[in-house]
């Protein structure tokens, strides 16, 4: 999907950044949670995939709240000002009526908007949200003063790093690529002072009195093990919003594009359109690329931990530059290995060759392997036998070599890419013999 252009509209004297993705007949306004950054959300496959799924059945309207992301940086706004920002963005894109998708702290404002402007709200979807974030005698499932103190202190001490993964996305805690993206995402979305101001405002929010006045169709989604917002918050809202439908989903991640994001989007799509498309079982033809550093253990021992980490950072930066240039999609990293997919085998080969040249300037040799086959789409990941074959092909490659399966070679006939026959090989765990070819130097 082509990434949309970031545009601006004014809400009073404040410039609000927004993007529009998709062209469905249904308008869906994504009201973000804590902090956001419109453009950097596209830089992580799981996040980009979540946006694309929502845009597959709607005209998806996203914006950065005032004070965060690409919008004007200002003091912490009120719910009323945020409500005006939504109205301003809807006016700017010509949306007379839209469904609101309020995530986390975007939920209370979405409730207020739906109650105030029912003529402009076709439906309300709340995910991982709440009516009152703090503990109260008649609301015992909010954060206590002690819990607030811990989280506010954490922002002061840890902002700039991958802060809060333990509660916002615990399922991704072992994913180094996500940690790097998350740290960058937080820094780009807000300064420490802005983040503190937002959290302190959230501490005071209480929209419980207006819940009974919400009269639009409402669905509340919540993961039962959510570590940020307790499931009891969702049950409270469902009890007090007339006719609200509550859907409890398994999982511990608060961030919606981690865990089973397909289940969330399926519920939203069916609620808003009456139709559910099961994207999680889709299969697509893709070219898979695996790369890893040759003799990495020996190199790490020679230069030490600090030097190795610096080299890895430079290595991954070089690989990602080439992936972006050849429209590759990063799927996963492990140690010094990279796994990516392409929708065209010739671009995948050229990208692999470019990577070997780019990292050689760092004093690094990589091996690369490619295979084209049908892959199973599993949320932001892909799997299946084609992926295993690609990994096995890479394991047969020598230093600086780009090795491909016969399938890839046949698909790029006429491209001008030349190959050298490397003979038949048995690939571990894959039936039969496979003829492999090395990409010849241009």
**Domain locations in the chain?**
7-279, 283-439
Residue 75 tokens read as 């003091």
Confidence at residue 93, expressed as pLDDT on a 0 to 100 scale: 97
Confidence at residue 70, expressed as pLDDT on a 0 to 100 scale: 95
Confidence at residue 110, expressed as pLDDT on a 0 to 100 scale: 95
| pLDDT tens figures, 285-306 | 889 999 999 888 888 888 888 8
State the pTM of this model: 0.66
Confidence at residue 1, expressed as pLDDT on a 0 to 100 scale: 54
Sheet containing 14-21: give its strands across.
7-11, 14-21, 59-63, 27-31, 98-103, 121-127, 218-223, 245-249
Per DSSP, 371 falls in state: E
Taken in order 99, 258, 179, 288, the sign of the CA dihedral is: negative
Who wins on pLDDT, 432 or 190? 190
Confidence at residue 247, expressed as pLDDT on a 0 to 100 scale: 96
Confidence at residue 353, expressed as pLDDT on a 0 to 100 scale: 94
pLDDT at 225 over 90: yes
Confidence at residue 180, expressed as pLDDT on a 0 to 100 scale: 87
pLDDT at 375 over 90: no
Confidence at residue 279, expressed as pLDDT on a 0 to 100 scale: 45
Closest by CA to 314, choosing from 295, 293, 331, is: 293
Distance CA 75, CA 285 (A): 48
Distance CA 144, CA 438 (A): 62
Confidence at residue 81, expressed as pLDDT on a 0 to 100 scale: 86
Q: How confident is the model at residue 433 (pLDDT cuts 50, 70, 90)?
A: confident
Confidence at residue 442, expressed as pLDDT on a 0 to 100 scale: 65
Confidence at residue 276, expressed as pLDDT on a 0 to 100 scale: 67
Distance CA 89, CA 83 (A): 10
Contact call for residues 36 and 65 (beta carbons, < 8 A): yes
Tokens 């070819």 sit on residue: 437
pLDDT at 331 over 80: yes
Confidence at residue 387, expressed as pLDDT on a 0 to 100 scale: 87
pLDDT at 79 over 90: no
Confidence at residue 382, expressed as pLDDT on a 0 to 100 scale: 79
pLDDT at 377 over 90: no
Confidence at residue 175, expressed as pLDDT on a 0 to 100 scale: 75
pLDDT at 234 over 90: yes
Residue 240 tokens read as 């007090």
Q: State the CATH architecture for 7-279.
A: 3-Layer(aba) Sandwich (3.40)
Distance CA 80, CA 77 (A): 8
Strands 366-378 and 218-223: unpaired
| pLDDT tens figures, 94-115 | 999 999 999 999 999 999 999 9
Per DSSP, 34 falls in state: S
Could you give the percent of the chain with pLDDT greater than 70?
96
Confidence at residue 198, expressed as pLDDT on a 0 to 100 scale: 86
- Mean pLDDT, the chain, as a whole number? 90
Give the Cα-Cα-Cα angle 292, 298, 303 (nearest 5 degrees): 100
Contact call for residues 296 and 334 (beta carbons, < 8 A): no
| pLDDT tens figures, 250-288 | 999 999 998 888 899 999 999 999 876 654 446 778 899
287: exposed, middle or buried (C-beta count within 10 Å: 0-12, 13-18, 19+)?
Answer: buried
Please give the average per-residue pLDDT across 131-137, as a whole number. Answer: 93
> 283-439, what's its fold?
Alpha-Beta Plaits (3.30.70)
Distance CA 48, CA 56 (A): 12
Q: How many residues does the chain have?
A: 442
376: exposed, middle or buried (C-beta count within 10 Å: 0-12, 13-18, 19+)?
Answer: middle
């Amino acid at each position: 999907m082509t990434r949309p252009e970031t545009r601006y509209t004014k809400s009073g004297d404040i410039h609000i950044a927004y993007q529009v993705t998709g062209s469905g007949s249904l308008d869906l306004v994504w009201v973000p949670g804590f902090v956001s950054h419109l453009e950097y959300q596209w830089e992580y496959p799981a996040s980009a995939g979540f946006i694309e799924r929502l845009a597959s059945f709607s005209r998806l309207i996203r914006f950065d709240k005032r004070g965060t992301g690409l919008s004007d940086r200002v003091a912490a706004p009120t719910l009323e000002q945020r409500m005006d920002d939504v109205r301003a963005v809807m006016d700017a894109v010509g949306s007379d009526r839209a469904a609101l998708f309020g995530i986390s702290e975007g939920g209370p404002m979405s409730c207020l908007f739906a109650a105030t402007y029912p003529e402009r709200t076709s439906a309300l979807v709340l995910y991982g949200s709440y009516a009152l974030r703090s503990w109260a005698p008649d609301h015992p499932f909010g954060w206590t003063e002690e819990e607030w103190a811990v989280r506010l202190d954490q922002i002061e001490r840890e902002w700039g790093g991958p802060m809060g993964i333990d509660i916002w996305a615990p399922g991704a805690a072992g994913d180094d690529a996500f940690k790097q993206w998350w740290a960058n995402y937080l820094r780009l979305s807000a300064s420490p002072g802005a983040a503190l101001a937002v959290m302190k405002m959230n501490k005071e929010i209480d929209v419980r009195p207006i819940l009974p006045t919400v009269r639009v169709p409402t669905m509340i989604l919540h993961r039962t093990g959510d570590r940020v917002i307790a499931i009891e918050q969702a049950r409270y809202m469902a009890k007090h919003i007339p006719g609200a439908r509550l859907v409890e989903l398994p999982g511990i991640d608060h961030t919606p594009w981690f865990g089973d994001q397909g289940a969330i989007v399926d519920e939203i799509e069916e609620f808003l359109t009456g139709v559910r498309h099961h994207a999680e079982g889709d299969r697509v033809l893709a070219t898979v690329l695996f790369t890893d550093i040759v003799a990495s253990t020996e190199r790490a021992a020679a230069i030490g931990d600090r030097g190795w980490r610096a080299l890895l950072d430079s290595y991954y930066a070089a690989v990602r530059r080439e992936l972006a240039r050849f429209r590759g999609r990063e799927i996963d990293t492990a140690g010094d290995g990279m796994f990516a997919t392409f929708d065209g085998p010739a671009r995948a080969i050229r990208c692999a060759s470019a990577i070997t040249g780019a990292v050689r300037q760092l004093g690094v040799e990589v091996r690369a392997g490619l295979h084209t086959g049908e892959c199973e789409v599993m949320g932001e990941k892909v799997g299946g036998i084609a992926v295993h074959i690609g990994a096995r092909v890479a394991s047969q490659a020598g230093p600086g070599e780009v090795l491909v399966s016969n399938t890839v070679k046949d698909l790029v006939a006429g491209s001008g890419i030349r190959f050298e026959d490397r003979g038949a090989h048995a690939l571990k765990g894959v039936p039969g013999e496979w003829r492999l070819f090395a990409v010849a130097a241009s």
